[in-house]
Copies of this chain bind each other. A is one copy, B any other.
Amino acid sequence: MAQIPSEPAAPEAWVQKRSFEVRDFRTQSGALLPLVRVGYETYGKLSAARDNAILVCHYFSGSSHCAGRYGPEDAAPGYWDAIIGPGKAIDTTRFFVLSVDTLCNVNARDPMVITTGPASIDPRTGRPYGSAFPIVTIADFVRLQKALVDALDIERLHCVAGPSMGAMQALEWGALYPERVDRLLPVFGAGLQAQAYFIALIDLWAEPILADPSWRGGDYFGASEPLEGLHRSLQAITVTARSPAWARSLFGRDWADAGADPLANAGHRYRVESTLAQIIAERGRFAEAAHVVQLVRGCRIFDVDADGGSIAAIRAPTLLISGRSDTVMFPEYSAQAALRLQAQGTAARHLSLDADGGHLDCLYEIGRMAGPIGDFLQ
């Protein structure tokens, strides 16, 4: 079913986005997508033996841009640039790093993201899929990545790694394709399946969109968009992914505007509130409401034991990293997964990242884990 992609170009100073297509993609839920197209990025050079590839899977609101910059104007590098690059923990002078945009990527309107989801044109109708787009799962993302890995003629991956939703994909790889992966590195993940509380919590991320009258069951394309719901959704995501220490260090109890005491008027805000509104307005420019809803649906169904693979199949040495202050992917999810894997004889180790910024420490504080990650990849 895979189309052969253009061969990755020689390593360059600037990162490039490439595109990969698969025709007649059958989802875990049984639907047939005539064409899926996703973006991918690579860093470093694939060895002649094609045996030095590491796949990095992205988080809920991330993309395949995990390292480097697109050009001299690019303000910030990819999200894991602290550990991916020449001489870094994931050393691109040694490893060939590959990362793929998921289906239903949140940032579907970002020109640097290539994805297929409800906002994409259904070739059978010439109109956006909307509610006709099927439920897609973490296993679907992994099966699509596997098609790209096949197309690149990579027989075994040295490691599959990723933060948050990327950690879910890493463990799914170990369960679905145990013969194709030598190491797993799930960082700040949900464990081996979405647990009841995780399901209830991420439902809160989708609810604001579902509540927006413009949502129209997911068929808002060509009409007014559920932008208020989208912004409230991003607000819920951003707040739950952070922590008291993060907010205290940045905002304290300052009012947003001098003289505008929140006691005097319910419209007066604290600086934490006005800044979050700015962050969300910025993030919202590229986000697609229906894709947020689809990703929540996919994440809540996550279960490596019920999607064609099995926990028992996971045999690759696994380094699980959790975050001490993470209240989205609680540390116990990783701890329990490690115990479960150890109980079946899989070489699993669990480390805690001791930082106080909440779930997003899986991005911003990952550099603290450079040592153990570098060792694990030896």
Any chain B CB within 8 A of the CB of A135? yes
Does B303 contact A203, Cβ atoms closer than 8 Å?
Answer: no
Binds B, one of A151-159, A325-333, A343-351: A325-333
Q: Which of A16-24, A119-127, A206-214 interfaces with chain B?
A: A206-214
Interface of A is mostly: helix
Each complex incorporates copies of this chain amounting to: 2
Q: Could you tell me if A196 and B262 are in contact, using CB atoms closer than 8 angstroms?
A: no
Pairwise interchain contact A263-B197, C-beta atoms closer than 8 A: no
Contact A195 B248 (CB under 8 A): yes
A232-B244 contact, Cβ under 8 Å, with A196-B253, A197-B272: no
Q: How large is the interface on A (under 10, 10 to 19, 20 to 34, 35 or more residues)?
A: 35 or more
CA of A257 to CA of B324 in the docked complex: distance in angstroms? 35
Task: List residues of chain B with CB within 8 A of the CB of A327.
Answer: 327
Could you name 19 residue pairs across A and B whose Cβ atoms are closer than 8 Å? A195-B248, A195-B253, A196-B248, A196-B252, A196-B253, A196-B270, A196-B271, A197-B242, A197-B244, A199-B247, A199-B272, A200-B272, A200-B273, A207-B208, A207-B232, A208-B208, A236-B236, A244-B333, A245-B332
Point out residues on A near B: beta carbons under 8 Å.
28-29, 135, 137, 193-201, 203-204, 207-208, 211-213, 228-229, 232, 235-236, 239-240, 242-248, 250-253, 262-264, 266, 270-273, 276, 297, 300-301, 303, 327, 330, 332-333
**5 nearest A-B pairs in the assembled complex, by CB-CB distance:** A196-B247, A197-B247, A196-B272, A196-B251, A197-B244
